[in-house]
Amino acid sequence: MLVRARGLRKHYGSLEVLRGVDLTVRRGEVVVLLGASGAGKSTLLRCVNHLEAADSGEIWVDDVPIGFRHEGGRLHELREADVARQRADIGMVFQRFNLFPHRTVLANVTEGPVQVRGVPRREAEAYARELLARVGLADKVDTYPDRLSGGQQQRVAIARALAMRPKLLLFDEPTSALDPELVGEVLAVMTELAQEGMTMLVVTHEIAFAREVADRVVFMDGGVVVEEGPPEQVIGAPQHERTRSFLARVTA
């Protein structure tokens, strides 16, 4: 089991976003989180790499308690600098790409390996060029992000995450900010990654992607997991009324 979340609770003021969520992701598995906006999917995802701290509950990634140090039968909260080391093994792709606008495409991808892992620059650049070629952007290495289309930026962002050789990739609505004609190129890269055996936890509204690529679909509503299972079951034959009405709305 690569990811194990247990009893996650999180609230903003009086709003309870997560109300006791359990989630598991096996190594090499692709899990898609579905649900209406406000269901708590993104918050759950952001708890996995501790961009948000849950109020209670635990998240273990590869037997490491995220945000904590396990000692003497207790979990001790970690300082930000120590959490950073745990995050290095967990890649994340954001809705709004969040590429570094002051660095070239190549520098965006080498930044993590060089600055965080201490990989020699030449080695990092060679691997970055290889990754950029894989996402179809070999000719854009010296370009600045603002010269790229949204789809190209998102593919650079995926290469930036992969450059850290992560155990797990988190996708937070990776195609929601894209023009419709650019969604396909990003989903194609994600599908390829899934086929290569990358462990992925994906928040998306692309039902077709979930149906074809996901090993398991988790449907959330109101801060809890309503149902989960293989896509043909959750999307094909949903058991719960809330899942059915959600699917009816997004596929209409």
Partner 1 sequence: MADRAGAALTRPVDAPGDSELLPQVRIRHWGRWVAGLAVLAVLGLLFQAISRGDIDYASIPDLLTQDVILEGLVDTIVLAVIAQAGAIVIGTVVALMRTSANPVLRWVSWAYIWVFRGLPVLLQILLWYNIALVFPTFTIPVPFTDAYLLDQPANVIMTGFLAALLGLGLNESAYMAEIVRAGLTSVDRGQTEAAKSIGMGPAKVLSRVVLPQAMRVIIPPTGNDFINMLKGTSIASVIGFTELIHAANALSSRSLAVMETLLAVAVWYMVVVSVANVGQYYLERHYNASIRPVGTRGSVWAKVGGSLRTPPFMRGSR
Positions in the binding site for partner 1 (CB under 8 A): 49, 51, 80-81, 84-85, 87-92, 94, 96, 98-104, 111-112, 115-117, 144, 146, 157, 160-161, 163-164
Nearer to partner 1, 115 or 239 (CB): 115
CA–CA separation, 113 and 187 (whole Å): 25
- Crossing angle between the packed helical segments 150-162 and 180-195, to the nearest 10 degrees: 20
Least separation in angstroms between CB 245 and partner 1: 32
Nearer to partner 1, 80 or 241 (CB): 80
Beta carbon nearer to partner 1, 72 or 101: 101
- Nearest approach, Cβ of residue 6 and partner 1 (Å): 23
Q: How many CA atoms lie within 13 A of 86 on its CB side?
A: 23
- Pick between residue 46 and residue 216 the one whose CB is nearest to partner 1: 46
Biggest distance spanned by C-alpha atoms of the chain: 55
CB of 126 to partner 1, least distance (A): 18
Q: How far is the CB of 169 from partner 1 (least distance, A)?
A: 10
Least gap, CB of 172 to partner 1 (angstroms): 10
Q: If we measure between CA atoms, which residue out of 81, 9, 83 comes closest to residue 43?
A: 9
User: How long is the chain?
Assistant: 252
Contact 59, 8 (CB under 8 A): yes
> Distance (Å, rounded) from C-alpha 163 to C-alpha 125?
10
| Minimum CB distance to partner 1 smaller for 140 or for 216 | 140
Please name the residues in contact with 71: beta carbons below 8 A apart, sequence gap of 6 or more: none
What is the residue-wise DSSP string for 165-193? --SEEEEESTTTTS-HHHHHHHHHHHHHH
Helix (H) or strand (E) holding 19, with range, is: strand 15-25
Least separation, in Å, of the C-beta of 231 and partner 1? 27
What does DSSP say about strands 3-12 and 56-61: parallel, antiparallel, or unpaired?
antiparallel
Q: Which is nearer to partner 1, 8 or 161 (CB)?
A: 161
Residue 142 or residue 181: which is nearer to partner 1 going by CB?
A: 142
CB of 250 to partner 1, least distance (A): 25
